[in-house]
């Protein structure tokens, strides 16, 4: 990242932290979107609390999807597990078959209102990008590298942990990045089933016809997506350089 780009990202991070720490100081930024004496800043629940809850749900869902997705990819790239590839792909595609609202509607009668239905929806939507990128990374490794590992007497487990996963890490991180960005946006609908996310701010704005609230919620989610996306890209470049990928400096 260029020095100018880094400065812009640091400025966005500083603005986001300031907005979450003292949102009342930014009333001037949203006042023009209010009418008939509406409040410019959402105060029913602290914005920092909603943001932490939002990020917590995304972290849990993406972590679970990462473990499951990479696990399925490892299983289906082993000689004994290749026959499970169609089944694994069907499971990974399951979340993309139904819209998030439909997943929530099916999950609420079973798990009740709150965070659990949202976590299920986020997990299902995050699974596919993690699985597909991990599968691509593990199945496209140079044959000569794997042969070298066999030639040195490495066991299958040693080859997996010391060669295959490190070389596939850039692809796996790419999948985790996509899953995280998708989950950040999808988590906003969790507020429709009483999960405390930044969608609460957006929903309150829509119900009260208060555009200032809608912008606040959307702005925070957007800034989080930009900053987290950049953090993942930095990690991907470093992993790619370590793995010896061409073009890792891009």
Residue pLDDT, tens place only, 133-156 = 999 999 888 888 888 888 888 888
Asked if residue 121 lies in contact with residue 103, where contact means CB atoms within 8 angstroms, the answer is yes
Checking if the pLDDT of 62 tops 60, the result is yes
Name all domains of the chain by residue range, CATH numbers in brackets.
44-243 (1.10.3720.10)
Checking if the pLDDT of 41 tops 80, the result is yes
Q: Which two tokens stand for residue 62?
A: 């993406």
SS3 at position 60 = helix
Asked if residue 169 lies in contact with residue 134, where contact means CB atoms within 8 angstroms, the answer is no
Q: What is the pLDDT of residue 97?
A: 79
Distance of alpha carbon 247 from alpha carbon 237, whole angstroms:
9
Residue pLDDT, tens place only, 182-221 = 999 999 999 988 889 999 999 999 999 999 999 999 999 9
């Amino acid at each position: 990242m260029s020095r100018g780009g880094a400065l812009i990202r640091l400025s966005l991070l500083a603005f986001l932290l300031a907005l979450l720490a003292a949102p009342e100081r930014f009333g001037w930024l949203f006042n023009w979107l209010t009418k008939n004496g509406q409040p410019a800043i959402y105060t029913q629940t602290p914005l920092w609390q909603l943001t932490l809850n939002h990020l917590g749900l995304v972290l849990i869902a993406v972590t679970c999807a990462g473990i499951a997705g990479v696990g399925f990819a490892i299983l289906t790239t082993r000689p004994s597990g290749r026959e499970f590839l169609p089944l694994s792909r069907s499971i990974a595609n399951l979340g993309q078959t139904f819209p998030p609202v439909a997943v929530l509607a099916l999950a609420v009668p079973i798990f009740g209102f709150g965070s659990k239905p949202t976590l299920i929806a986020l997990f299902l939507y995050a699974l596919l990008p993690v699985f597909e990128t991990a599968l691509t990374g593990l199945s496209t490794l140079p044959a000569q590298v794997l042969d070298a590992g066999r030639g040195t007497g490495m066991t299958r487990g040693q080859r997996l942990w010391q060669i295959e996963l490190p070389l596939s890490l850039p692809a796996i991180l790419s999948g985790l990045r996509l899953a995280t960005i998708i989950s950040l946006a999808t988590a906003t609908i969790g507020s429709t089933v009483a999960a405390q996310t930044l969608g609460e701010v957006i929903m309150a704005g829509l119900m009260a016809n208060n555009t200032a609230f809608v912008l606040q919620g959307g702005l925070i989610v957007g800034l989080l997506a930009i900053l987290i996306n950049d953090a993942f890209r930095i990690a991907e470049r470093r992993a790619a350089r370590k793995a010896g990928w061409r073009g890792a400096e891009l």
